[in-house]
Amino acid sequence: MKPLQTYRIPELYAWPGALSELPVLAARSGAKRLLIVTDTGIVQSGILDVVVKSLKGNQLELLIESGISKEPSTGLVDKLYGRVKDFRPDLIVALGGGSPMDIAKLLSVMVHQGGEAVSYLFPDAVRTKGIPLIAIPTTAGTGSEVSPIAVFTDDSDGIKKAVVSRHLIPEVALLDAHLSLRMPALVTAGSGMDALTHAIEAYTSTRANAFSDSFAREAVRFIIPYLKTAVLSGLQQDARHFMLLGSFYAGIAFTNAGVAAVHALAYPLGGLYDVPHGVANSMLLPYVMQFNKPACAGRYHELARITGIIETEDAPSGADALIRYIKQLSRDIGIPEGLHRVNIPELAIPGMAQSAAGIKRLMDNNPRPVTALDAEQIYRHAYGDALVAS
């Protein structure tokens, strides 16, 4: 087990109604020009109006960028930066899911450093802290409100890549279950499975440590009991609240221990075929777990035991039970079964496998080495829903 890394956690406000703290935080920052980065779904749901209304009377000049309709690309970030740089914001609010948050995190740095988005897709490209950022997640999934990572599709090759820097961690995370009550069921399902994937991959990572383990376990304790309720009974406030906390804890876990093969395999699905990130992770998770089981059955058994999925002391049986549970959970909350159902061409599998296997930043965290041939086999199992317990 690896030692604890140096880590900073955002200042946290987490209760139903926590949005009431936003005007206080804005005033405390001394900001004059506030940029809100959000997406079209948040506008249509009315959540943006609620947030803007909460700031009424704060004497802030507002700029709202809400034209985000899908997962972000380097070109989109450059386009937004072109509109934002002359406004010169001194505070940013990221409102929504992972896409607005990742864009806001990079924009906060670009306002200081300039340049093009693609220039940040390299180690140590972020040299300094950006302008202050308040993250308000409306989905419980990405953990972006607590992580030093922002993920984008590189327009030059269509592959998802990450900007990684401690300077990207927001100053404040504000978790208000009232804002997530309006999220559609499929968004809730995909984002929730994304959070569960973060927790499981962090718990079985080659970089796992006592600190990350504690947050990964607590994340799974929240997500397993509450995800199905949050999807099927979306107005259940407790379920929404504990999913937000589970996502936050999972974000802390994977920030310290990393994610692994599930995310590496999901990147080509999102970058090349626009499969939502959480959906891609969910469709791949049980198959990667089946592949990894020889290396970490004991850890899977621990998660099955602490969540009450199984009480047996036999590790392989516990691991199998957890894999079956997750596969059934995905089915129950409406995640498509089989990559063919999200229009992935079978002929694309070898190329995707080569791309995924080359993402060493993630694959090196996997508890079992993954070759390009292994990646291809996992894709083929996931393609036809052919999981066989072994």
Predicted confidence pLDDT, tens digits, the chain (390 residues): 666 555 678 999 999 999 999 999 999 999 999 999 999 999 999 999 999 999 998 889 999 999 887 778 999 999 999 999 999 999 999 999 999 999 999 999 999 899 999 999 988 899 888 999 999 999 999 999 999 999 898 998 888 888 999 999 999 999 999 999 989 999 999 999 999 999 999 999 999 999 999 999 999 999 999 999 999 999 999 999 999 999 999 999 999 999 999 999 999 999 889 999 999 999 999 999 999 999 999 999 999 999 999 877 788 899 999 999 999 999 999 999 999 999 999 999 999 999 999 999 999 999 999 999 999 999 999 998 543 333
Residue (of 111, 58, 51) closest to 80 by Cα position: 111
Which segments of the chain does DSSP mark as H helices, in order? 22-29, 40-45, 47-54, 74-84, 98-113, 177-180, 185-204, 210-232, 237-257, 261-273, 277-306, 315-332, 349-357, 360-363, 372-383
- Tokens 């469709």 — which residue? 283
Amino acid 161: pLDDT: 87
Other CB atoms within 10 A of residue 158 CB:
14
Helix (H, G, I), strand (E, B) or coil at 317: helix
Which residues lie closer than 8 Å to 124 by C-beta, 6 or more apart? 165
Q: What is the CA radius of gyration of the chain?
A: 20
Amino acid 80: pLDDT: 95
Distance CA 375, CA 370 (A): 6
Distance CA 202, CA 303 (A): 12
Helix (H, G, I), strand (E, B) or coil at 352: helix
Torsion from C-alpha of 174, 178, 183, 185, nearest 10 degrees: 120
Cβ contact 139:98 at 8 Å? yes
CA 270 to chain CA centroid, nearest Å: 13
Amino acid 313: pLDDT: 77
Whole-model pTM? 0.93
Amino acid 36: pLDDT: 98
Other CB atoms within 10 A of residue 309 CB:
17
Amino acid 1: pLDDT: 60
Distance CA 341, CA 378 (A): 16
Amino acid 4: pLDDT: 57
What distance separates the 2 farthest-apart alpha carbons in the chain? 63
- Tokens 């399902």 — which residue? 189
Distance CA 51, CA 176 (A): 11
Task: Quote the tokens at residue 48.
Answer: 């943006």
Distance CA 188, CA 306 (A): 24
Q: Per residue in 256-280, is it b (16+ CB within 10 Å) or e — as a string?
A: bbbbbbbbbbbbbbbbbbebbbbbb
Task: Quote the tokens at residue 222.
Answer: 């929240």
Cβ contact 126:233 at 8 Å? no
